[in-house]
Structure 1
Amino acid sequence: MDIVLIAKALSNETRLHILTWLKEPEKYFPPQEMYIPEGESFDCGVCVGSITEKAGISQSTISSYLEMMRRAGLLESGRYGKWTYYRRKEDFIQQLGDYIKQEL
């Protein structure tokens, strides 16, 4: 666990909003299954385009934010055709909470 990389990823208000939105994607985004091929599944995943629209900033900025959070371990991604979906890595976020509680 790279706590410095995680802290950097969490040090931006929009990135924090994205983590909040992805905690309950059905509350913040329209249904996302339309671009996932039949027979495939990426439960709770949200397309980059939907996140971009919700955040109201450029797709390139959102993509860099999402990639930073993925590298930090907070998110995971799935690609279906030209569409990339992201979701929270709940097990990692739980471990992070435990680490903060015990170590900091």
Structure 2
Amino acid sequence: MDIDAALAALNNPTRRKILEWLKDRDNFPPALPEHAELEGVCVAYIQDKAQLSQSTISTYMAALRKAGFVTSERHGQWTFYRRDEAVIAAFLSAFDGELRNP
């Protein structure tokens, strides 16, 4: 795990908020009927909640994806994001180990 890259992705309060929001799908409007069975949240819902431009949200999500904190899945014109809990847990463990161990 590249702790520096992970910390760079987390070095923005909105990106941290997005990760927090993605913990619970209920933080967003209901999925469209044709997307009801899909996991994750449509990027348009993330953009709306964050009240930022599409390009800014795309940049933020790319940083979170590069760090491994989220995964993305494309369905037609829509991109859906969800947290990668295993990567988040690995980061927390690695970071904790780095801070606590000499």
TM-score, normalisation: structure 1: 0.87
Taking only the aligned residue pairs, the percentage that are identical comes to: 45
Partner of 2:7: 7
Q: Distance in 1 between matches of 2:33 and 2:2?
A: 35
Instruction: Verify: 1:34 aligned to 2:30, yes or no.
Output: no
Please report how far the alpha carbon of residue 25 of structure 1 lies from its aligned counterpart in structure 2 after TM superposition.
2.1
Following superposition, the deviation at residue 4 of structure 1 comes to 1.2
CA displacement, residues 38-81 of structure 1 (integer Å, 9 cap, x when unaligned): 8xx542x0001000000001011001100110011110000000
Displacement, 1:34?
Answer: 3.3
Q: Which runs of 5+ in 2 are unaligned?
A: none
Question: Do structure 1's residue 98 and structure 2's residue 93 form an aligned pair?
Answer: yes
2-structure distance, mates of 1:22, 1:77: 12
Q: More relative contact order in 1 or in 2 (CA 8 Å, sep 6+)?
A: 2
- C-alpha distance 74-20 of structure 1, shift in aligned 2 (>3 A): same
Contact residue 42 and residue 78 of structure 1 kept, 8 A: no
Alignment of 1:51-62 (within 5 A): 51-62=46-57
Q: Distance in 2 between matches of 1:49 and 1:24?
A: 16
RMSD value over aligned CA atoms? Answer: 1.5
CA drift of 1:21 comes to: 0.2
For 2:53 and 2:34, the matched residues in 1 are separated by: 21
Give 3-state SS (helix, strand or coil) of 1:76's partner.
strand
- After TM superposition, the score normalised by the length of structure 2 is 0.89
Unmatched tracts of structure 1, length 5 or more: none
| Aligned pairs, number | 99
Distance in 1 of aligned mates of 2:87 and 2:32: 25
Q: Hey, what does 2:64 align to over in structure 1?
A: 69
Retained in 1: the 8 A contact 2:28–2:45?
Answer: yes
